Amino acid sequence: MYLVGFYSPKAKSGVTELSLSIYKWLKRNTYLSAAFISYGTLEKEEPSNELVHEFSKLSWAEQKRKVKKMKKEYDIIIYDASSQLSEGVLKLLPIVDRLFVVGEEHKDFAVKLYQTIQFNKIFDKSVKSFISQLQGNKTAIIRENKEGRVIGFNYSEKEANDIGQMVYTDYVTYYLEMKFIEKNKKIYNKIRKIPKEELHKGLYELGIDFEKALLFHKFIVLREVLGQDYNEALESLFPLLIHSSFDELLQKFQKELYIIAQFKI
Picking from 117, 113, 119, 39, the residue whose alpha carbon sits closest to that of residue 79 is 39
3-state secondary structure of 100: strand
Residues 137 and 16 in one domain: yes
Q: Is residue 235 part of a domain?
A: yes
Residues 170 and 248 in one domain: no
Of 130, 159, 184, the position where a domain reaches its end is: 184
Residues 128 and 153 in one domain: yes
**CA angle (95, 100, 103) in 5-degree steps:** 145
Of 184, 210, 227, the position where a domain reaches its end is: 184
Q: State the residue range of the domain holding 170.
A: 2-184
Residues 136 and 205 in one domain: no
Q: Write the secondary structure of 115-144 as one string of H (helix), E (strand) and C (coil).
A: HHHHHHHHCCHHHCCHHHHHHHCCCCECCE
Picking from 191, 77, 82, the residue whose alpha carbon sits closest to that of residue 130 is 191
Residues 241 and 124 in one domain: no
Q: Is residue 120 part of a domain?
A: yes
The total number of structural domains in the chain stands at: 2
Tell me the backbone φ, ψ of residue 144, rounded to 5 degrees. Answer: -110, 150
Picking from 162, 231, 223, 167, the residue whose alpha carbon sits closest to that of residue 194 is 231
Q: Is residue 189 part of a domain?
A: no
Integer Cα distance of 104 and 113 in angstroms: 14
Integer Cα distance of 103 and 211 in angstroms: 54
What DSSP element (H or E) covers 241? helix 230-243
Q: Is residue 225 part of a domain?
A: yes
* CA dihedral sign of residues 258, 191, 134, 89: negative
What DSSP element (H or E) covers 3? strand 2-7
Of 164, 184, 204, the position where a domain reaches its end is: 184
Residues 168 and 115 in one domain: yes
The ranges of the chain with pLDDT < 50 are 125-151, 265
Residues 75 and 139 in one domain: yes
* 79, 99, 114, 172 from 175: Cα distances, Å: 18, 16, 21, 5
Q: Is residue 129 part of a domain?
A: yes
- Residue 98's pLDDT is what? 77
Q: Is residue 84 part of a domain?
A: yes
Q: What percent of the chain has pLDDT over 70?
A: 71
Residues 113 and 23 in one domain: yes
Q: Is residue 75 part of a domain?
A: yes
Residue ranges of alpha helices (H) inside 38-126 are 60-73, 87-92, 107-122
Q: Is residue 35 part of a domain?
A: yes
Residues 177 and 203 in one domain: no
- Residue 151's pLDDT is what? 47
Residues 145 and 42 in one domain: yes
Identity of the residue numbered 32: L
End-to-end CA gap in the chain: 54
CATH number of domain containing 22: 3.40.50
Residues 146 and 56 in one domain: yes
- Residue 219's pLDDT is what? 94
